[in-house]
Amino acid sequence: MIDTAAHAHVVAHRPPVTGLILSGGGARAAYQVGVLAAIAELLPEGAANPFPVIVGTSAGAINAVGLACGALSFREAIHSLTRVWKGFHIGQVYRGDFTGVVGQALRFLGHSLLGLGKHQPVALLDRSPLRHLLQRELDFSGISAALQQRKLRAVAVTAFGYESGQAVTFYQGRETIEPWLRHRRIGVPTRLCLEHLLASSAIPLLFAPVRIHREYFGDGAVRLQAPISPALHLGANRVLVIGVSGNPAEGNPNETVGREQTGKPPSLAQMGIHLLNSTFIDSLEGDIEVLQRVNYLSSLVPEERRRHEAGLRQVEVLLVSPSRPLDEIAAQYLHELPWALRLFLRGPGATRVSGAGVLSYLLFERGYCNELIRLGYKDAMDKRAELKRFLGLEEMSL
């Protein structure tokens, strides 16, 4: 989980370096945009990017790079992200029309059962529309500009290598940041591009893996057991985590839909949601718990010793997570799902209440995304005092 070796990067007496952690979760990442919109509103006019280190995984990687590309004008970058997410529909992310759904399903079956086209990666859904959207919306040169003007220290996205079995964090940052090598996870300096985002957000089976150099990569959340550690390796000594599930430690478990005891066999959708949650949610929540325990144990060490041993210094973490179950919200917007996709998902049980968790990851539609943005904004504003303290905005207002 939390990598104590990464803590060694936190040098004593160094000024605070704030890291932003954006987790994965498909359409759930709309919630992150609402939180960021609230932060932009809390910042004074013309304020610089408050997050020198930005780390994202899966859909969170897309939001992270979107912020980094516009780091020279943080508020405008948030407005751009908000505009895209508020106008989303499934056809901008993957083919949801009848021809696209059936054609991709036939290709998947031919590939999986008959070995047809075995040299080309295939998946259940055709995600080619997302490539076109990202090409249109992102200007990767903005990352280099922000680094040169020292408005950004580093931005990173994580992907999973299918052959190596490693979680690879691709990062673009200042030359002083050293790459790292840990058990099944490494940090690789590079110039980020579209392929890194598509690889990091390629949910296994649903979306096809993406080739980077000699290896195919998929969703970074699959093997990233320490989601916070890349930010520490990149120099952060405190982190803001925007999650996409409720925080069990605060008595607010998010995944509550369909928990009643029915005695019936689980549907494919029910099994799928547990797999998705274990991939996108459990590791982050576990990592936060470990960090909190490490901070507690560190607090028991005399201050003088902590001051001289970097590995013993505490890492402050602030978590903002949904106050409402996203499964329930997704179930309310089932009608937005294209009819062809609704037909395709009916058999596995994803269109029933018990399978709404799957929809919460796949429902890239305007009503659902806007509801998550509103929820993220509200939850962040409910924590405005904590956010202002964490970002040092109270001192600025004095």
DSSP state of 170: E
Burial of 325 (0-12, 13-18, 19+ CB in 10 A): buried
Q: Is the dihedral of CA 9, 11, 14, 16 positive or negative?
A: positive
CA of 186: how far to CAs of 115, 157, 165, 393, in Å? 33, 12, 11, 34
Distance of CA 90 to the CA centre of its chain: 19
DSSP strands (E only) in 95-199: 154-161, 167-173, 181-182, 185-189
DSSP string, 382-395: HTHHHHHHHTTHHH
Given 3, 23, 126, 219, which residue is catalytic? 219
Side-chain-side CA neighbours of residue 269 (13 Å): 23
**Residue 200 among the catalytic residues:** no
Q: Closest Cα to residue 85, out of 23, 27, 130, 157?
A: 27
Q: Which helix (H) or strand (E) holds 57?
A: strand 53-57
Given 3, 23, 58, 321, which residue is catalytic? 58
The two tokens of residue 232 are 């520490």
According to DSSP, the residues that pair with 212 across neighbouring strands are: 215
The two tokens of residue 304 are 């003088």
- Cβ of 191: how many Cβ atoms within 10 Å? 10
Pairing, β 316-320 against β 238-242: parallel
**Residue 327 among the catalytic residues:** no
Amino acid at 380: A
Please, what is the Cα angle at 202 between 379 and 196, to 5 degrees?
90
Side-chain-side CA neighbours of residue 288 (13 Å): 21
Question: In the block, which residue shows the tokens 């104590």?
Answer: 4
Burial of 66 (0-12, 13-18, 19+ CB in 10 A): buried
The two tokens of residue 372 are 């998550």
**Catalytic residue positions, numbered:** 58, 219
